[in-house]
Structure 1
Amino acid sequence: MSIAEEYLELYRTHVQPAWVDYNGHMSEAFYVLIFGYATDALLDRVGLDAQGREKEKASIYTVEAHISYIREVAEGKPVVTGTRILDLDAKRVHALHAMWHAETKDLLATEELMLLHVRTEPEVGTAPMSRPVHSALQDLHQAQSHLDWPKQAGRSIGIRRGR
């Protein structure tokens, strides 16, 4: 199965000249930027676009992220991001974004996220998602539940010393 078949495609772009570092490939900060746009697209898709956030007085915050940089990508190259919903409950979403080269289909990076639903008014605090938002995320999760667990998900950082 290809990456594109495993992930819900959410965002496409090309690597901008300002995103390229002194090594001649996209700098790490801009992987985060692109993944941020993918998160925004996910929120739009499930009803937490600007109107939804205003209506519900709620939003999603990223509370943890882990990026795996897998391959370099050069200026001007087309990239695509897709998302998998790995798990969710009333307030949290465990998601994994993948970025791949739009032409070669090479996996470039992944970002594993823990997202937290919060109310924004009258004061900021965690809150359960509305039924429509939760249902939309649940539908995405269910549609992907038959897939194998992604190897980039659930990893930790550390130097292995004779373990």
Structure 2
Amino acid sequence: MSSPVVWREPVQDAWIDYNGHLSEPYYVLVMGHATDAVMAAVGLGPDHQAAHDASLYTVEAHVRYLDEIRGGTDLEVRSSVIGVTAKLLWIWHELWADGRLRATEEILGVHVQGGASAPFPAEVAARAQDLLVDPPAEASRSIRIAR
């Protein structure tokens, strides 16, 4: 089983809301930074982007806010590739703080080159396959209200 890609950063004071907790958009910001780390790990980092006019665009995301996070906390995002096709990368993020899982996000990204979807270069596809793990049971959930 592949090890997750890890991203760490501290909570910034400006990210704390009127309840004294990490504000909702900053969970996504931090996990966005973790997406950048996964992109670098598979070979889609800034050098690739500049050389090939290519990047990963998020086309779908699902966030679960599981627990609050207070200011002054160090955050760790553990990210895994849970699916890959010729053009798509499915990433699972787990946001941890103080040894507890606080949020998850799954994103589906499409490889884009020159403004249009394009297959991954062979070396990127190979690296993504090397990082591939089975999706967790929590992946692919949808929001529902019992009727």
TM interval, short-chain normalised: over 0.9
What residue ranges of structure 1 are gaps of 5+ in the alignment?
A: none
Could you tell me how far 1:7 is from its partner in structure 2? 5.7
Out of 113, 132, 136, which is 1:150 matched to?
136
Of 26-35 and 149-158, the range deviating more from structure 2: 149-158
Mapped contact 1:68–1:152 kept (Cα < 8 A):
no
Mapped contact 2:2–2:131 kept (Cα < 8 A):
no
What residue ranges of structure 2 are gaps of 5+ in the alignment?
A: none
- Helix, strand or coil: the match of 1:62? strand
Q: Percent identity?
A: 39
Q: Does 1:41 align with 2:37?
A: yes
| RMSD between aligned residues | 1.6
Distance 2:49 2:83 in 1: 22
Distance 1:113 1:48 in 2: 16
Distance 2:99 2:136 in 1: 17
Q: Give every structure 1 segment of 4 or more consecutive aligned residues whose post-TM-superposition deviation is greater than 4 Å.
A: none
- Helix, strand or coil: the match of 1:52? helix
Distance 1:83 1:9 in 2: 5
Q: Does 1:21 align with 2:7?
A: no
Distance 1:88 1:78 in 2: 30
Give 1:105's aligned amino acid. G
Give the TM-score normalised by the residue count of structure 1.
0.85
Q: Does 1:116 align with 2:107?
A: no
Could you tell me how far 1:151 is from its partner in structure 2? 3.2
Distance 2:108 2:36 in 1: 14
Distance 1:108 1:6 in 2: 22
Could you tell me how far 1:152 is from its partner in structure 2? 2.5
Counterpart in the other structure of 2:146? 160
Of 49-58 and 33-42, the range deviating more from structure 2: 49-58
Summarize the alignment of residues 30-69 of structure 1 with structure 2, pairs less than 5 Å apart.
Answer: 30-69=26-65
Distance 1:58 1:14 in 2: 29
Could you tell me how far 1:14 is from its partner in structure 2? 1.1
- Pairs aligned (count): 147
- Helix, strand or coil: the match of 1:109? strand
Give 1:159's aligned amino acid. I
Could you tell me how far 1:160 is from its partner in structure 2? 1.2
Distance 1:107 1:150 in 2: 14
Distance 2:34 2:123 in 1: 20
Give the TM-score normalised by the residue count of structure 2.
0.94
Counterpart in the other structure of 1:72? 68
